[in-house]
Amino acid sequence: MNKFRFVLCLFCIGATHVLHAQTFKPVADQEKVLTELRKTSQATTSIQAAFTEEKFLAVLKEPERSSGLFYFQQKDKMRWEQKTPSKYVILINGDKLRIQEGGKEKNVGQAGRMASQIKELMIGLVNGDFQQNKAFSIACLGNEDQYQIVLTPINRRLKNIYSKITMVFPKSSLRVKELTFFEKGGDKSVMKFSSEKFNQSINDSLFQNL
């Protein structure tokens, strides 16, 4: 797969166990839930975690699997480092987006506005700013143990990539555990986080050096 396409598919594109089929229903007070999630994200200055990802593609019988490490520093620094099956790094530091594949940096400058939207989305899903992202409509669902946020694109460019994005938050922590990205063509990508560490110091070089 073209690796810049991967960036678009990253949200086109965790936990230590697989979540079973879940039934979610609309919550009685959506604004209350969003406020709780917003408070938790605002109190989170940094995140370090392991991740797993499964990509379910119509052309393949089995999902493509990958894993690696994820770092976030409030408010706009992020490092996504895939370690298996191959090394691949996405680095966001302020307004800069950099990508490395096979030890070589890729040129993403030509992506222009679309790259900017993807970068904004990636950071927003982590720091809680997705609630202010006018490119999506938001629905909040819940069950006994979890909340599910459903983001439906209304922005024309993003509608051409995703049909929706879902985020699952355990009620006990209000921190995202699972992201599922549904592509317009029917494929989907499921990301899960584990071994999380919050509000601990992260070496700034991780956000500067590919």
Tell which wins on pLDDT, 133 or 12.
133
Task: Determine, yes or no, domain membership for 140.
Answer: yes
- Judged against a pLDDT cut of 60, whether residue 13 lies above it is answered with no
- pLDDT score of 119: 73
Task: Determine, yes or no, domain membership for 118.
Answer: yes
Question: What is the tally of structural domains in the chain?
Answer: 1
When pLDDT is averaged across residues 180-203 and rounded to a whole number, the result is 94
CA separation for the pair 153, 24 (Å, rounded): 20
CA separation for the pair 9, 127 (Å, rounded): 20
- pLDDT score of 102: 86
When pLDDT is averaged across residues 117-136 and rounded to a whole number, the result is 80
Q: Which domain holds residue 124?
A: 3-205
Task: Determine, yes or no, domain membership for 210.
Answer: no
When pLDDT is averaged across residues 175-195 and rounded to a whole number, the result is 94
- pLDDT score of 65: 96
When pLDDT is averaged across residues 22-39 and rounded to a whole number, the result is 92
Task: Determine, yes or no, domain membership for 141.
Answer: yes
What is the residue-averaged pLDDT of the chain?
85
> What CATH number corresponds to the domain at position 31?
2.50.20.10
Task: Determine, yes or no, domain membership for 16.
Answer: yes
CA separation for the pair 97, 118 (Å, rounded): 10
DSSP notation for 126-146: HHSGGGG-TTEEEEEEE-SSE
Task: Determine, yes or no, domain membership for 56.
Answer: yes
How does pLDDT run across 46-99, given as a tens digit for each residue? 999 999 999 999 899 999 999 999 999 988 999 999 999 999 999 999 888 899
Which tokens go with 84? 């298996």
